Amino acid sequence: MNTPCYKINELFETIQGEGAFTGQPSIFIRLQGCPVGCSWCDTKHTWEIEMTDQVPVAQMLGKAEESDHWSDLSIEQILAVINDNNYQAKHIVITGGEPCMVDLTPLCTALENQGLSCQIETSGTFEIKTTQDCWVTVSPKVNMRGGYKILNSAMKRANEIKHPVATEQHVDDLKQLLTEHQITKTQVYLQPISQKQRATDLAIKTCIENNWRLSVQVHKYLGIE
């Protein structure tokens, strides 16, 4: 039986800098493709899937800087890259782009069978197809240019909700979303957009008021990927 391939923009080992797994050594798999259209997106190079940007695996892995180049990898190739690079992290973060545009169940099943834990970071605008044990981080993107709605199934599946914030409107949007989807128990993280001081101050104040947690994108302060 053929296993699916995944369009991968980057595959590398680092420290998770966001949310509940902050500080955890992790292998990041960044998938190509996202139609959500957030104006402040810091991975705009992952948005389009142009066949002319497909490159050999070695070229994708050897990138010296961000680019829209991607490679099509089978699950076996992904496992081989992890093995060949002697990565030590036991936690996989599948991000994007919007990783839930594709079925992640076969990939997460294979990774979990190797003794690795999986985490998905998604905007909550596509059905989440993954394993039961996979940790799902929903970072809901409300009223973005692409016009996608946040799905109730995604909000309900979330193990954590990580919301980008820069203005009071973002806080109001999140509160409305939590009410609309009847989310009361899931841990909420507020993440200041682009490390702006005003956004950080607002996030700190709002976290204290609501007993939410702060996520500050530690990797950006450390200057690592």
Tokens of 18: 């966001």
Residue ranges in 164-203 that form contacts with ligand SF4 under rule CB under 6 A = none
CB of 34 to ligand SF4, least distance (A): 3
Long-range (24+ apart) CB contacts under 8 A made by 81-87 are 81/11, 81/57, 82/27, 82/114, 85/13, 87/13, 87/27
- Any contact of residue 43 with ligand SF4 (CB under 6 A)? yes
Annotate each residue in 47-86 with x if it binds ligand SF4 (CB under 6 A) or - if it does not, as one string: ----------------------------------------
By CB under 6 A, name the one of 8, 11, 31, 34 that touches ligand SF4.
Answer: 34
- 212 φ, ψ to 5°? -95, 175
Stretch that binds ligand SF4, among 32-40, 61-69, 70-78, 110-118 (CB under 6 A): 32-40
Residue closest to 98 by CA, chosen among 152, 140, 153? 140
Asked if 18 interacts with ligand SF4 (CB under 6 A), we say no
Shortest distance, position 94 Cβ to ligand SF4, whole Å: 13
User: Is residue 31 close enough to count as binding ligand SF4 by CB under 6 A?
Assistant: no
Minimum gap (Å) between residue 113 Cβ and ligand SF4: 28
Point out which span in 30-38, 108-116, 165-173, 174-182 binds ligand SF4 (CB under 6 A).
30-38
- Taking the CB of residue 62, how many other CB atoms lie within 10 A of it? 9
Q: Are 70 and 136 in contact (CB under 8 A)?
A: no
Q: CA 216, CA 202: separation in Å to the nearest integer?
A: 12
Print burial letters for 162-198: b (CB count within 10 Å at least 16), e (below 16): bbbbbeeebbebbeebbeebebeebebbbbbbeeeee
- In the region spanning residues 90 to 149, those forming contacts with ligand SF4, defined by CB under 6 A, are 96-98, 123, 141
Site string for ligand SF4, 140-159 (x = CB under 6 A): -x------------------
- Residue 61 tokens read as 């892995």
CB of 111 to ligand SF4, least distance (A): 21
Instruction: List phi, psi (to 5°) of 36.
Output: -70, -40
* Footprint on this chain of ligand SF4 (rule: CB under 6 A): 34, 36-38, 41, 43, 46, 96-98, 123, 141
